[in-house]
Structure 1
Amino acid sequence: MSQGTLDPFQKPSQPTPADEVAAPANRWWVLVVISIAQLMVVLDATIVTVALPDAEADLHMSEANRQWVVTAYALTFGALLLLGGRVADFWGRKRAFVWGMVGFAVASAIGGAAQNEGMLFGARALQGVFAALLAPAALALLTVTFTEAAERAKAFAVYGGISAGGAAIGLLLGGVLTEYASWRWCLLVNVPIAVLAIAFAMPLLRESRAEGDTKYDIPGAITVTLGLAALVYGFTRAAEESWSDSLTIIMLVAGVLLLALFVVIQQRSAHALLPLRIVLDRNRGGSLLAMLLIGAAFIGSTLFMIYYMRIVLEYGAVKAGAGALGITVGVFITAGASASLLPKIGPRIPLVVGSLLSAGGTFWLTFITVERQYLTHVLPGMVLIGLGLGLVFTAVASTALIGVEEHDAGAASALINAVQQVGGALGTALLNSFATSAISDYMSDKEAELGPRLADPAIAHKTFVDAQLDGYTTAFAWAVVIMVVGAVVAAVFVNAGKDALPKDGAAVHVG
């Protein structure tokens, strides 16, 4: 397909190496386009977090249901990411990229115009579906565009930096848009970004696709998505009713059975979404399980860090978004240091120490009160969490690719992000369930204790704030437990030596 052809959706011919490389004059513009897309996908995981209290009040969400704004996106994104990468490879990477941008923009517009919680949740889930198509297509296009080693390293450094910094940008941008415009603009802002990216992508990007069988593991994709959704719904139902509620039990059992069925499908499928050999490797499976647990605890507890600043400390959206940046500072400090540390000591120690540091920072947050000062009682905990996460993320990115075969490199690379997203979805739902139950129990006890005195506005407000604090600290305490379990998993399963490194090219392919 020659440069300048405006129809990106015509069926591509089998590309030669020359076809897959953008002309020297425009390959850096291709990087700009792909970076814009990646930034949009990454920041959307955090941009709504700061705005969530406003959206919750505007759409009259329940405390149990509010987590769907976060989990609906993370769940569909993570569950469909492997399938999205395979579709992009065989359907056409440019085609997948452009349609992914279009779909993401439409879903964002629907979410920004949401009139009720169901409409918002559905839009967020749809965003996740198209993000699962867009993200691997963008990474694959980057790979086939930059074929010279030095330039590819620079391009991936830019891409990685955006991926790492996108969460921080999302928190700040979400705060600014919420405070000075509306929470709806945290979604609507994606529309002009996507239009701009599409306008440049059409003439700049060249089509490419992989050779081979184009069959997809649709049954696997359906069962894993439904299984995860059932678990999240079960956690939500437990917060609304109880853990002994019949529907709660039914959904949790259904979720486990569907995930078990997914494993069976993967064992028997000739086109498995997730070849089980990838996760059955001791080091890879152990590091990914640790990432699942750490991601669940961290992303889940982030929701309550923001709510603490917004509801209890009464920070504005911008101040709350900036207040969460202590975690980002910590990540950048240790992520850079651990990259040079891994070849000297191996991945196990950074994984274990990082998990325990994050657990310690989260434990620090269990002591929050209305009177606690941010600089002395909140920020240190956040920085400590970030220091731990920097060690964990770098070690997992390396360990999860140790010894991976070339034909599994794409799936192994995508699985790192998929596990983080899925962990975040499950962790947010589970911790929100614990927090909501604690808040409900606290209010019930106080209603019985105070009786008519709760009609006094001052007493009612203090009781409400105290109940929120009880819920938040309960969530933090459970997050600590999950992180410690993650540290134990890393200590038991990860035994790769300091000389174990991923095979060449393992980190730059998308499957």
Structure 2
Amino acid sequence: MVALGATMTVIDTTIVNVAVHVLGRALDTSLSTVQWVLTGYLLALSMTIPVSGWAVRRFGARTVWLTSLILFSAGSVLCGLAWSAGSLIAFRVLQGVGGGLLMPTAQTMLARAAGPERMARAMAVVSIPAMLAPALGPVLGGLLLDHLSWRWMFLINVPVCVVALVLAVRLLPAGDPEREAGAGLDGWGLALLSPGLALVVYGLAGLAEGGSPVWLPAGAALLVAFALHSSRRRDRALLDLRLFGDRAFATSVGVLFGYSIAAFGALILIPLYAQTVRGSDTLDAGLLVAPLGAGAIVTMALAGSISARFGTRWPSVTGIALVVAGLSVYTRLSAGTGWPVLAVATFVMGLGHGLVTPLAMAGAYRDLPRTAIPGATTAANISVRVGSALGAAVLAIVLQYLSRHTADAAAAFAGSFRWAFGIAAATLLPALLIREKEPVPGPVP
């Protein structure tokens, strides 16, 4: 139920990527305006995630989960009925508000229910959306655009969310014993953190498109101001920065941040290479990314057992090493590199991805008390979101620079993948510092 509801919110960050030109023609508007269909959703996600920890404490996980599903479903219906670019952008913002609450609330519920011993299994379940989105989003978008109206990219969410809503009403307990009815909202923190994150994400997206860099330092200044505010307000800050004093949490979140830069940046480049260098259509470009989801599902199913037997440190290191091995093939790209070679390399990356994401996340929660889980979930989600945006922006800028200085388009992509390779390899160092738990002796049950 949790994975079902969260999957569509993450897929929606990628499914529209292949529809920019189609939406521009259908709505009779410029590509720069249509880009806000993507950017508005991401900004709403970024601004809503910081509120999720407080909302779970104040209203309870069940209430927040149901509310976010309803908001996301309503936004999806309205997007499917949009009559102009402006209305579609506005409805995508509503959709993003619901989506920004869904993923951290899902992680909070699973982390509370699982406990330390089953944390890796729980994080493997909640990581399904992050693993499937890069693979399913472009493929699903291409299929829908080839056979149906663009409106179905949004309407397809509705039956999935309705099923998740019905299951949530039936399965989630009505009361939340950990709810704090009097929990106050850190208004100053919200006024600094949410706009700061939004400006950073917007600034990174603008840099990738050659826009003005002014929004990035403005967002960074707000984040610095938030850090100063949070350090003074030690009680009920919107985001408790003291969590980073826990070595297990700080190390694991650091790994997730660095890994997100490399992995999601590379996942932007792969379909671009297929379309730009090889002349593939949107569906074929999406299919080149699909092996990543297949590989991730294989190792994700084993993540719990692997963690129980070997802990989290060395499996995380192994996962990153597999991603690095897959990326090494892309660093030697040419216009004639065989599709089977690239598919195998992407599959190997997926095998690593299925280990890194759930096990590093499980390591982050390892030593935290239950009361700290909502705040920890918020911090981890913010780190992954900003890391993903940073990776997409940095590698897009690198690709643009290399493309201007070489006539060989494939060589420009190979050089860009070397950056992803280097960043992923660098995350091996903090991964070696992940605090290990004692492995379970004997056979794994």
CA displacement, residues 2-21 of structure 1 (integer Å, 9 cap, x when unaligned): xxxxxxxxxxxxxxxxxxxx
CA contact (8 A) 1:60 1:117 kept: no
Which of residues 320, 329, 354 is equivalent to 1:390?
Answer: 354
- Aligned counterpart, 1:3: none
Q: 1:138 to 1:477 in 2, by over 3 A?
A: closer
The corresponding residue for 2:430 is 489
Name the residue aligned to 2:345. Answer: 381
Q: Do the aligned partners of residues 52 and 98 (structure 1) sit closer, same or farther apart at CA in structure 2, a change above 3 Å counting? A: same
Query: Residue 223 of structure 1: which of 182, 187, 192 is its match?
Result: 192
- Aligned residue identity for 1:499: E
TM superposition shift of 1:185: 2.2
- The alignment status of 1:252 with 2:200, answered yes or no, reads no
Distance 1:217 1:266, change over 3 A: same
Distance 1:438 1:352, change over 3 A: same
- Return the offset for 1:404: 0.8
Give deviations 1:206-228, integer Å, cap 9, x for gaps: 64341353211233233223223
Give the partner amino acid of 2:375. Answer: A
Q: Displacement, 1:142?
A: 7.3
CA distance in 1, matches of 2:122, 2:308: 20
Q: Which moved more, 1:292-301 or 1:133-142?
A: 133-142
**Aligned ranges for residues 112-131 of structure 1 at < 5 Å?**
112=80, 123-131=91-99
Structure 1 pair 239/103, CA: closer, same or farther in 2 (3 Å)?
same
The 5 Å alignment of 1:33-72 reads 34=2, 36-52=4-20, 54-55=22-23, 60-61=30-31, 72=40
Letter in 1 for 2:338: Q
| Aligned-CA RMSD value | 3.9
Residue 186 of structure 1 corresponds to which residue in structure 2? 153
2:393 is the counterpart of 1:424: no
Structure 1 residues 212 and 198: alpha-carbon distance in aligned structure 2, compared to 1, 3 A threshold: closer
Residue number in structure 2 paired with 1:327 = 292
Q: Say whether residues 1:83 and 2:51 are aligned partners.
A: yes
5 Å-filtered alignment, 1:254-293, equals 254-269=218-233, 270-293=235-258
Aligned to 1:403: 367
Between 310-319 and 180-189, the greater mean CA deviation after superposition: 310-319
The answer to whether residue 201 in structure 2 is matched with residue 232 in structure 1 is yes
| Letter aligned with residue 477 of structure 1 | R
Identity over the aligned pairs, expressed in percent?
A: 29
Q: Distance in 2 between matches of 1:159 and 1:336?
A: 9
- Structure-to-structure mapping, 1:452-467, within 5 angstroms: 467=409
Map Cα deviations across residues 147-190 of structure 1 (whole Å, 9 max, x no partner).
9xxxx99x969954854664244444323212212444222322
Instruction: Kindly indicate whether the alpha-carbon contact (under 8 Å) linking 1:224 and 1:262 is maintained by their aligned counterparts in 2.
Output: yes
Following superposition, the deviation at residue 90 of structure 1 comes to 1.9
Cα distance in 1 for partners of 2:329, 2:84 equals 36
Query: Match for 1:61: what amino acid?
Result: L
User: In structure 2, do the counterparts of structure 1 residues 81 and 434 end up closer, same or farther at CA, with 3 Å as the change threshold?
Assistant: same
Q: Pick one of 44, 64, 83 that aligns with 1:96.
A: 64
Q: Is the contact made by 1:89 and 1:137 (CA closer than 8 Å) also made in structure 2? A: no
Q: Does the 8 Å CA contact 1:53/1:307 hold for their aligned counterparts?
A: no
2:443 equivalent in structure 1: none
8 Å Cα contact 1:266/1:274 also seen in 2: yes
1:499 to 416, 438, 441: 438
Alpha-carbon offset, residue 346 of structure 1: 4.0
Aligned partners of 2:151, 2:412: CA distance in 1, in Å? 27
Of 329, 334, 337, which aligns to 1:364?
A: 329
Deviations 1:73-94 (A, max 9, x none): 4454355324224314423545
The residue aligned with 2:420 is 479
The residue aligned with 1:509 is none
Deviation digits for residues 200-257 of structure 1 (CA, Å, limit 9, x no counterpart)? 7668866434135321123323322322333333334444558xxxx52x33322222
- Measure, in 1, the Cα distance between the counterparts of 2:164 and 2:434: 43
Cα distance in 1 for partners of 2:348, 2:182 equals 47
**Residues 330, 414 of structure 2: 8 Å contact kept:** yes
What displacement does 1:362 show? 2.1
Does residue 309 in structure 1 map to residue 274 in structure 2? yes
Amino acid at match of 2:266: S
Conservation of the 8 A alpha-carbon contact between 2:207 and 2:393: no
Is contact 1:342–1:498 with CA below 8 Å preserved after alignment? no
CA contact (8 A) 1:50 1:320 kept: no
Distance of 1:295 and 1:70 partners within structure 2: 19
Note the residue ranges of structure 2 that are not aligned, 5 or more in a row.
441-445
Matched letter for residue 180 of structure 1: H
Asked if 2 retains the 8 angstrom alpha-carbon contact of 1:71 and 1:424, the reply is no
> Which blocks of at least 5 consecutive residues in structure 1 are unaligned?
1-30, 447-465, 502-511
Deviation at 1:500, TM superposition (A): 8.1
**TM (normalized to structure 2)?**
0.80
Q: What amino acid is aligned across from residue 141 of structure 2 in structure 1?
A: G
Q: Report the residue type matching 1:173 in the other structure.
A: L
Q: How many residues are paired up?
A: 433
Q: Which has the larger Rg?
A: 1
Question: What CA distance in whole angstroms lies between the structure 1 residues aligned with 2:34 and 2:267?
Answer: 14
Contact 2:11-2:137 at 8 Å conserved across structures? yes
